[in-house]
Amino acid sequence: MFSESFLHIFIYGALGWTALGALALIVLLIVDWIRGTLW
Amino acid sequence: MTLKWSNPRNEVVALEQSANESFEPFVVRYEGNDASSVLSGLAEGTHYFRVGASGEEPRSEPLAIEVKFFPRDQLAWLLGIGGVVVVLTIGAIIAGAAQNREKEAG
Amino acid sequence: MTEDVFSISRSTGWIVVILLGVLWVALGIFWGKRAKNSEGFMLAGRNVGLSLGSATAMATWVTSNTTMLAPVFALTLGIWGMLAYSTASFGLLLFALFVGRIRTLLPAGVTAGDFFRLRYGRAGWSLFLIITMLYSLSWLVSMAIAGGDLLEALAGIPYLQGMSLILVVCILYTLFGGLYAVIGTDFIQSLIILVGIVFIGGLVVAKLDFSTAYEHISTYQPSLLKIAMPAALLAVFNNMLFGFGEVFHNNVWWSRAFAMRKDVAPKAFFLSGLLWFPIPIAAGFIALAAGPLGINIPDENQTGPVVASAVMNMSGLGAASGILILIVLFCSMASSIDSLLAATSDLLIEDVQKGLFKAKVNEEKFRRSAGIVIVGLGVLVWLLAAPHWPIINALFISGPLVGSLIWPVIAGLFWRKINRRIVLAGIIAGSALGVWAYFSLGWFTASLVGAGVSMVATILARFISPETFREADLPVQNH
């Protein structure tokens, strides 16, 4: 049986990771924009 | 799995589950107006279900559901094959990419 | 049975979808102006950077299946079900190792068909075309159907109208903007999807008391938390291989590999895999909350929307919940439909028109013939989606077909010698045995069997009278 704390980490981890992904995309977009390397 | 029942007068219905046919003890798995409920993750073994108008008699005939997992020896084989295929596939890609990198660098 | 759960009216539904549609089409027209020639239209000028590149690969891989099926996997297979779904991201991570080689092997390449023609000759290329068309069409059609179903379930818009609307929007902006429009809209759509999933997941976590939820699940749904669940582990292997097969062969990914700047492409694919990995868990775990929160799920296929809107109603968000779910799901569908339309029509133009029928497509007439192909493909998808057949099953059955292309792609990229005939026989045998396994052993073995059989054949082909591959000898592209 997976433990309760595992479930905790599993779910919060996934949500945090997804949020981080959104942030990373925005940061990368700004960097590409400034350097003129969007497309 | 999905359990369905008819609820023509849109009454509040209770879905009860028990480990034995006499429903002692039982738990209410759902109570409301819907005419179906998806149940999942049941342990291996036999489970009994019945429905009826909430708080009133009568109840439906119990429905026995047997939960059985995939036959274990067949599963062991498939798992073994699966592991080998996945490992070889990933290995072949990593090895190929590494060789290619060397070739392009050299 | 679900009217009381979904609280948006038909007119609200129409307004949301039309506003989104107008936005995508307007952006498509705006970005489409960048496409000065066929290479611009099909490959966005081969100069796409890291942010747009990662976002478009990720968004394409987030389909309505991800957001709708991940909760179903969580509900039926538990923790392992979500992990099994997440391993589909490994396909993107590994494709990152391909793209460098793809670009040196095919410096002027346009489609995945170019690769199969170079490596496996006309016979191999035809086999590839048949498999990829079956797969791409069933993917496209099943998504159009999912779109129609979604608008009907969420806003009561009749199936045929909703399905037509989603399809027309995607056709229009792909038609005007080509890959520029697809990539640009994909970026916005990725952000909406990610933020929407985190928002809904956050609400569920806020409503959930972890220790009582854990107790509830371990009492009533113990199998969902079991560590030793061999069947689920098998599903992990199978899904991973299905994902490999889908990504490695399909032109959706190859055209992106050709569209990105060469130094950026591997990084962008790797990053998109990393971004994708947590999504099935973040979107799926809410199904585990259904039991503890007392949310009844009347229909398995609606697990995600039912739980999400129930939780948002509990949080007092009412009508906003339906709108938010609609927007997230609409974006996840549009971001894949547009990419598939673009990549599949590229394949039809490049491979079928130019390759199979030897038709000359010159630069002036290119936009016109591209337009005809995109619209024609759209009409075909509409015709197949209109009867509301369960096409999603065709998509699942295509698992072993695409799975049997995994090893031929690896060998074609990285090996120097091969016996083509044995490889092709392996693709056919793998497809056939995989489809047999689907029906007689269970869906969670099909891709594994397809990939395994073709793997054995491809390895044999390396040692039994192999011929040396020719290096790039593509006919000069007339750009």
Residues of chain B neighbouring C75 (CB-CB closer than 8 A): 38, 40-41
Residue C1 has a pLDDT of 38
**Chain C residues 166-195 with CB within 8 Å of chain A:** 180, 183, 187, 190-191, 194-195
Is B69 an 8 Å CB contact of chain C? yes
C406-414 vs C420-440: helix crossing angle, rounded to 10: 160
Residue of C nearest to A29 (CA): C51
Omega within 30 of 0 (cis) for the link into C400:
no
Token reading at A15: 């949500």
- The neighbour count for residue B33, using CB atoms within 10 Å, is 14
DSSP string, B50-88: EEEETT-S--PPPEEEEE-PPPHHHHHHHHHHHHHHHHH
DSSP code of residue C287? G
Question: What is the ipTM metric for this complex?
Answer: 0.96
In whole angstroms, give the CA distance from residue C420 to residue A1.
Answer: 48
Say yes or no: B12 contacts chain C, CB-CB below 8 A.
Answer: no
Residues 6+ apart with CB under 8 A from C30: C177
Report chain B residues whose CB lies below 8 A from the CB of C94: 90, 93
Nearest to C127 by CA among C437, C373, C457: C457
**How many beta carbons lie within 10 A of that of residue B77, not counting itself?**
10
Q: Give the residue carrying structure tokens 């490889």.
A: C423
Residue B47's DSSP bridge partners are B65
The pLDDT assigned to B42 comes to: 87
Which residues, listed in sequence order, are joined to residue C418 by a DSSP beta bridge?
Answer: C467
Q: Per-residue DSSP letters for C207-234?
A: H--HHHHHHHHHHH-GGGG-S--HHHHH
Q: Specify the pLDDT at position B2.
A: 84
Give one word for B55, left, alpha or beta, with left for phi > 0 and alpha for psi -120 to 50.
left
C422, HSE (Cβ side, Cα atoms, 13 Å): 19
In angstroms, the Cα distances linking C238 to B73, C116, C400, C405 are 18, 25, 10, 15
The pLDDT value given to residue C2: 42
Question: How far are the Cα atoms of A16, C67, C329, C378, C387 from residue C383, in angstroms, in the given order?
Answer: 42, 25, 23, 9, 8
Higher pLDDT, B62 or C454: C454
Query: What subunits make at least 3 CB pairs under 8 angstroms with A?
Result: C
Q: Which structure tokens are listed for C213?
A: 């939820």
Q: Is B15 helix (H, G, I), strand (E, B) or coil?
A: strand
pLDDT tens digits in sequence order for chain C, 479 residues long: 344 445 688 899 999 999 999 999 999 999 999 998 988 999 999 999 999 999 999 999 998 888 888 999 899 888 998 998 999 999 999 999 999 999 999 999 999 999 999 999 999 999 999 999 999 999 999 999 999 988 888 888 999 999 999 999 999 999 999 999 999 999 999 999 999 999 999 999 998 888 999 999 999 888 888 887 777 788 889 999 999 999 999 999 999 999 999 999 999 999 999 999 999 999 999 999 998 998 999 888 888 888 888 888 888 887 788 899 899 999 999 999 999 999 999 999 888 877 777 777 777 788 888 999 999 999 999 999 999 988 888 888 999 999 999 999 999 999 999 999 999 999 999 999 999 999 998 888 999 999 999 999 999 999 999 999 876 554 444 44
State residue A21's pLDDT score. 96
Residue B93 with chain C: CB contacts under 8 Å: 94, 97-98, 410, 414
Identify which of C165, C188, C180, C189 has the alpha carbon closest to the alpha carbon of residue C378.
C165
Closest B-chain CA to C454: B85
Token pair, residue C211, equals: 């220790």
Chain A residue numbers with beta carbons less than 8 Å from the beta carbon of C278 are 13-15, 17-18, 21
Chains A & C: contacts with CB separation below 8 Å: 99
Which pLDDT belongs to residue B8? 81
The residue with tokens 């569209």 is C259
Give the mutation candidate from C198, C207, C263 for the A interface (greatest A CB count, under 10 A). Answer: C198
- HSE (CB half, 13 Å, CA atoms) of C468? 3
Radius of gyration for the alpha carbons in chain B, expressed in angstroms and rounded: 25
Q: Which residue has the tokens 């059609």?
A: C141
B97 touches chain C (CB under 8 A): yes
Helix, coil or strand: residue C458? helix
Using an 8 Å CB-CB cutoff, list chain B residues near C222.
Answer: 41-43
Helix (H/G/I), strand (E/B), else coil: C404: coil
C93 to chain B: nearest residue by CA?
A: B90
- CA B89, CA C237: separation in Å to the nearest integer? 11
Low-confidence stretches of chain A (pLDDT beneath 50)? none
Q: Do chains C and B touch (3 or more CB pairs under 8 A)?
A: yes
Burial of C24 (0-12, 13-18, 19+ CB in 10 A): buried
Of C223, C224, C296, the CB nearest to B34: C296
Site of tokens 């590409």: A32
C362 phi, psi to nearest 5 deg: -95, 170
Place of tokens 């291989």: C241
Does C76 contact B94 at a Cβ distance shorter than 8 Å? no
C52 neighbors C267 (Cβ within 8 angstroms): no
> Using a CB-CB distance cutoff of 8 angstroms, which residues of chain C are in contact with residue A14?
201, 278, 281-282, 285
Cβ A29–C52 below 8 Å, yes or no? Answer: yes
**Cis check: omega of the bond before B58, within 30 degrees of 0:** yes
Q: Which two tokens stand for residue B60?
A: 């439906």
pTM attached to this predicted model: 0.91
Classify residue B106 by burial, with Cβ atoms within 10 Å: 0-12, 13-18, 19+. Answer: exposed
Closest-CA distance of chain B to residue C4, Å: 11
- Report the C-alpha gap between C299 and C293 in whole angstroms: 17
Residue C456 · residue C422 · CB < 8 Å: no
Q: What single letter denotes the amino acid at residue C210?
A: F
3-state secondary structure A1-39: CCCHHHHHHHHHHHHHHHHHHHHHHHHHHHHHHHHCCCC
B96 touches chain C (CB under 8 A): yes
* C-alpha triplet C165, C380, C248: angle, nearest 5°: 100
What residue of B is the nearest CA neighbor of C442?
B70
Q: How many CA atoms lie within 13 A of C376 on its CB side?
A: 11
Q: Amino acid identity, residue C178?
A: G
- Positive or negative torsion for Cα C249, C122, C178, C164: negative
Q: Helix or strand or coil: residue C278?
A: coil
Strand pairing report for B45-53 and B63-67: antiparallel
- Which of A:3-32 have CB within 8 Å of C? 4, 7-8, 10-15, 17-19, 21-22, 24-26, 28-29, 31-32
* Tokens matching residue C400: 């072993």
